[in-house]
Chains A and B, each alone.
Chain A
Amino acid sequence: GESVGLHLPTLSVQEGDNSIINCAYSNSASDYFIWYKQESGKGPQFIIDIRSNMDKRQGQRVTVLLNKTVKHLSLQIAATQPGDSAVYFCAEGFGNTPLVFGKGTRLSVIA
């Protein structure tokens, strides 16, 4: 069940290091996955997406990996910068059903 009021898990990394943020999704029928970045006081911002017929997709400094066997999604950020500090959410979708969001991970970059 859901937990209300718990703090978000936090990942702290040194500036310049690589970050890996993990997400376990719930619906084995989901065929579309997205990572969003949310900075304080702002709305979620699209980072990268991947469809279930792929297991890896690369963007600029970001890579998303999908493991359907264990229903696991990860976001890798290369050479993490202070501007990467934010909360990161994974989301899953199926057909035209609304996206379902995970609980989020706070990334804190240490300069």
Chain B
Amino acid sequence: NAGVMQNPRHLVRRRGQEARLRCSPMKGHSHVYWYRQLPEEGLKFMVYLQKENIIDESGMPKERFSAEFPKEGPSILRIQQVVRGDSAAYFCASQTAGPNYGYTFGSGTRLTVV
């Protein structure tokens, strides 16, 4: 049973390009969370999705960032027109349905904007 799979592990983008980060949740998990982590800091919540629905996007910047979790395929976090401040590690976590339990995290995508 594979864990949460994120790809790519490392992504380098020039300022102004688009970044697409992918997350395949654990088998049977229908809830996906995206978090961002700056060096030497904790994880900051960005968005919570279920299949085809955004449940909570209160942590997402209003511009340039979007997320989806389609009926088929992985969840995608998209960052348009990246800036240097977007450089961070982006982690995806998944959870089975129900009340709050511990999330299972992927290994993250480290985005570097040059």
Residues of A within 8 A of B (CB): 4-8, 31-32, 34, 36, 41-46, 49, 89, 93-104
Q: Offer 12 A-B interface pairs, CB within 8 angstroms, sorted by A.
A: A7-B40, A32-B99, A32-B100, A32-B101, A43-B107, A93-B100, A97-B100, A98-B33, A98-B45, A98-B48, A101-B44, A103-B41
Verify A104–B42 contact, CB threshold 8 A. Answer: yes
Residues of B within 8 A of A (CB): 4, 6, 33, 35, 38, 40-45, 48, 56, 59, 91, 99-108
Q: Tell me the number of A-to-B contacts counted with CB atoms below 8 Å.
A: 61
Docked pose: A43 CA to B109 CA in angstroms: 10
The residue of chain A having its C-beta at the shortest distance from the C-beta of B38 within the complex is: A4
Docked pose: A49 CA to B100 CA in angstroms: 11
Verify B43–A95 contact, CB threshold 8 A. Answer: no
Verify A95–B99 contact, CB threshold 8 A. Answer: yes
In the complex, besides A43-B4, A99-B100, 9 extra interface pairs with C-beta distance below 8 angstroms are A5-B40, A31-B100, A43-B105, A43-B106, A43-B107, A44-B91, A98-B48, A101-B45, A104-B41
- A44-B40 contact in complex given A49-B102, A95-B99, C-beta closer than 8 Å: no
Residues of A within 8 A of B56 (CB): 97-98
Docked pose: A63 CA to B11 CA in angstroms: 38
Residues of A within 8 A of B100 (CB): 31-32, 93-97, 99
- Of B4, B103, B104, B107, which is in contact with the most chain A CB atoms at under 10 Å from its CB? B103
